[in-house]
Amino acid sequence: MGILNVTPDSFADAAHLTDAARAVDAALRMEADGADVIDVGGESTRPGAEAVSATEELARILPVLRGLAGRLRIPVSVDTYKAEVARAALDAGAAIINDVSGLRHDAALAEVAANRGAALVLMHTRGRSQTMYAEAVYDDLIGEIGAELRGSVALATDAGVRPDQIIVDPGIGFAKRPAHSYGVLARLPALAALIDRPILVGPSRKSFMREAVHDRPPAERDWGTAAAVTAAVLAGAHIVRVHAVAEMVQVVSVAEEIRRAIDH
């Protein structure tokens, strides 16, 4: 899954793709580089980020989605927690809703997915961007994440979303200290055993690896990201969400060969 942030305050992109034409070109490059999905986001959800209105979010993403219509052969995901935004994005050609709140911010999002038959990614987090680190307290890291993700899945299925539409994301870096994010990567099989759904992992350029990469800025964390992506694939992740698509396609391909050799 290639990340296409069309926000002026993306934490990890050196070039902010706020111009729709540039964003469309970037998406087409990601597809050419081997992406299987493009994830378009119009609101930064990094820790401490300010929320934006649905109107502003739509003004950022709709020109991009419309520009990709008929040109992109792979599915498009919309990274939003707002039902209004998801509905309009699906109308403009998106096929997947990627909800970083796990239906905790706007429960109506589940009805949108159910009514439209869209795939739905449910990520684990706690609180909002401004407060998530204060809630990063766990007695049983994997057990609590698993239970809270099962709660999100239940909200979705209760609204009519089919289980086979649902993907879960443990939320690397969201309401998690660095040790928690490493713990999730290290114990992904245990989490998978608690939730019988495909798993998406999004470690790309995130701050949990900052100390390990000697305080390099986000745009210089692709080597660290490669290590995290390898760990995720070996641990059974089905999708990885990344910025540097061409490089990570190679990483995933080699990691998959190693995983196959382990399995046999």
Residue 214 belongs to domain with CATH number? 3.20.20.20
Give pTM, 2 decimals.
Answer: 0.94
One-letter amino acid at 246 equals A
Active site includes 66?
no
Tokens of 67: 């520009």
253 contacts 233 by C-beta, under 8 angstroms: no
Distance between CA atoms of 212 and 232, rounded to whole angstroms?
A: 17
For the chain, what is the domain count?
1
Residue 125 has pLDDT above 70, yes or no: yes
Q: What are the backbone angles phi and psi of residue 74, rounded to the nearest 5°?
A: -100, 160
pLDDT tens digit sequence for 193-228: 999 999 999 999 999 999 999 999 999 999 999 999
Tokens of 228: 């995290």
Residue 16 has pLDDT above 60, yes or no: no
End-to-end alpha carbon distance in the chain: 27
Overall average pLDDT of the 106-130 stretch: 96
Q: How confident is the model at residue 14 (pLDDT cuts 50, 70, 90)?
A: very low
What lies within 8 Å, CB to CB, of 55 at 6+ separation is none
**Which of 104, 176, 205, 241 is labelled catalytic?**
241
pLDDT tens digit sequence for 60-114: 999 999 999 999 999 999 999 999 999 999 999 999 999 999 999 999 999 999 9
Contacts 24+ apart (CB under 8 A), 196-199: 197/153, 197/163, 197/166, 197/167, 197/168, 198/167, 198/168, 198/238, 198/239, 199/167, 199/168, 199/169, 199/170, 199/236, 199/237, 199/238, 199/239
Expressed as residue numbers, the domain containing 119 is 2-263
Give the whole-number percent of the chain exceeding pLDDT 70: 96
**Which of 46, 87, 176, 206 is labelled catalytic?**
206
Active site includes 206?
yes
CA 63 distance to own-chain centroid: 21
Residue 15 has pLDDT above 70, yes or no: no
Q: Which of 206, 262, 195, 203 is nearest to 234 (CA)?
A: 262
Q: How confident is the model at residue 50 (pLDDT cuts 50, 70, 90)?
A: confident
